[in-house]
Chain A
Amino acid sequence: MTERTPGFATLAVHAGAQPDPTTGARATPIYQTTSFVFNDADHAAALFGLQTFGNIYTRIGNPTQAVLEERVAALEGGTAALAVASGHAAQVIAFHNLLTPGDEFVAARKLYGGSINQFSHAYKNFGWNVVWADPDDISTFRKAITPKTKAIFIESIANPGGSITDIEAIAAVAREAGVPLIVDNTLASPYLLRPIDHGADIVLHSLTKFLGGHGNSIGGIIVDAGTFDWSKTDRYPMLSAPRPEYHGIKLHETFGNFAFAIAARVLGLRDLGPAISPFNAFQILTGIETLGLRMQKHSDNSKAVAEWLESHPAVAWVNYAGLPSNKYYALARKYTPKGAGAVFTFGVRGGYDAGVKLVSNVKLFSHLANIGDTRSLIIHPASTTHSQLDDEQKTKAGAGPEVVRLSIGIEDKDDLIADLDQALRA
């Protein structure tokens, strides 16, 4: 039998899914149930003891969710995955596998604002300490490493600026330090960029964005690359030590190169509880079937809109890594050759008032605080997400008074350009 490698589009449609054994249903059914009947007491004990494969209770796993997990693992080139209720929940569960109170992790300074909040404030209550580094200066990562460092966290394409991170350079720092590299790949999606190919040990997504892709469901996922040796030291006891939660099972020993995903499920999700609903898993799964088609269109449209904006008299600057004028263009050519994604910022002449006017004048773009929808989205951070900051803080956060962020959809590009044109002129 010849073993050939199916392409991305084939995996996006097929990976993880098969006709339903009971009914023959070809689309993945929505298993909208909280619980699953055991065959007998022995089966129940085997399931609870992690001795056999199967379903117990939807807080721990669900068949619709399992299809989603295998599909994203396949697209990212990972060994396994765990889907959860949101991108933020994926972050908490991933760090819960790694950190104990007093531990540190190094994170890129350029991140989604919500992640900056989560790391700076919510994690303090757990005694998990973030140390910031600058993704534009790799040496800052090396300097930030201490004996307490347990992981490095970056975004492949950073929200909101759309800058491209040099994953391989940071992966080298992580390897040297003996800690796993976690990459949030939300803005790129595996169609544009696969972080595992560049040295990531764990990949996270907010499925809410491009993977689901239709702005209808919140979800998140943790993908295990299977690359990190959790038992080499005793620094990752959730994976290497006998677990009291399961009568002394060692998860890495038992589950090998997908132990991180299993630990995330049976220690993190089981005990912390942010399960994804089967309905959301289904919606996101359906979205993923067209990921390649959408992502190419998102990127092609973005390039066209960015080029057009760059020559517009009412626009001061455009920050899109797919433009040759951009400081991240070389990194974009290397890491995202098919396109630099669909989220980027530009500056309007006329500052704060011009920004406010633009978002109120658009007719096709939607003024809201999300990204990665089929619909084109626009936001003026200074008057919304970052309005609580003073002007200097706004500018530092990349949310100066003139900054507008776009998430370009899959409509006809000429209609998007016409809408921005009328709104900039009005």
Chain B
Amino acid sequence: MDHDHYSDAYIRSILTSVKTIAMVGASPLNVRPSYFAFKYLAERGYDMIPVNPGQVGKSLLGKPFVASLSEIGRPVDMVEIFRSAQYAPALVEEALALTPQPKVIWMQLGVRHDEAGARAEAAGLKVVMNRCPKIEYGRLSSEISWMGVNSRTLSSKRPPMPTHGMRLSLSRQSVGGAETPAADRAARTHEH
């Protein structure tokens, strides 16, 4: 797997197949990127689970925080790592120890750990690094176009009116080889 470039087909296959997402490092602070992504994905119909040991006893948008992946107590399809890259190896091990195992490890925009990614792939999981699922969902559905962002997709179909909790179609035509090299040229390594 080339982790510098992901095809839209690969990202699309993940976002259309997963239903339950555990977000490790979800923040209750409403100016943090994790809060933005959590809220958006919940609005788009994903079953979101906030994981953050410092927030146990509280909840995020109605979902109770859990301390760790092993304490979720039900199957999750995808683990999203919203922590800095140094925590990725331990989190991948924790995810691989779950039964059933999740199908996807997703590391947030700015987070990349090639060894941890390779470990998850060797165990048969799909891996995405240094991408934001909110941005990718918004891009493939073209909802992000409201902000003047280049979705790099085209469609001649009439879309439905998006309403709260609605899943959007991600099957628009991709443009430009469907790669995101620019994200990597500007990839950041600082802490989340």
Interface residues of chain A, those whose CB is within 8 Å of chain B, are 1, 3, 5-6, 10-11, 14-16, 18-22, 24, 39, 46, 49-55, 61, 63, 65-67, 69-70, 73-74, 77-83, 225-231, 242, 246-249, 252-258, 261-262, 265
- The answer on a CB contact under 8 Å between B177 and A257 is no
> 16 new A-B pairs (CB below 8 Å) besides A46-B39, A74-B152, A254-B36?
A3-B9, A6-B173, A11-B154, A16-B145, A21-B161, A39-B164, A51-B39, A54-B146, A61-B148, A66-B148, A69-B148, A79-B182, A80-B150, A257-B185, A262-B147, A265-B148
- The answer on a CB contact under 8 Å between B142 and A226 is no
- The answer on a CB contact under 8 Å between A14 and B156 is yes
Q: How many A-B residue pairs have CB under 8 A?
A: 148
B31 touches A (CB below 8 Å)? yes
- The answer on a CB contact under 8 Å between B149 and A70 is yes
Chain A contacts for B158, CB-based, 8 A: 18-21, 24
- The answer on a CB contact under 8 Å between A227 and B174 is no
Assess A3 versus B178: contact at CB under 8 Å? Given A52-B39, A253-B33, A254-B33: yes
B60 touches A (CB below 8 Å)? no
Which of A20, A74, A247 has the most chain B CB atoms inside 10 A of its CB? A74
Interface residues of chain B, those whose CB is within 8 Å of chain A, are 7-9, 30-31, 33, 35-36, 39-40, 43, 109-110, 132, 135, 138, 142-152, 154-162, 164, 173-178, 180, 182-183, 185-188, 190, 192
User: In the bound complex, how far is the Cα of B31 from the Cα of A14, in angstroms?
Assistant: 35
- The answer on a CB contact under 8 Å between B186 and A228 is yes
- The answer on a CB contact under 8 Å between B30 and A49 is yes
Which B-chain residue is minimally distant from A260 (CB atoms)?
Answer: B186
User: What 6 pairs between A and B have smallest CB-CB spacing?
Assistant: A69-B148, A226-B182, A73-B150, A19-B158, A80-B149, A3-B178
A254 to chain B, nearest CB (A): 5
Chain B contacts for A19, CB-based, 8 A: 156-159
- The answer on a CB contact under 8 Å between A14 and B154 is yes
Which of A50, A67, A79 has the most chain B CB atoms inside 10 A of its CB? A79
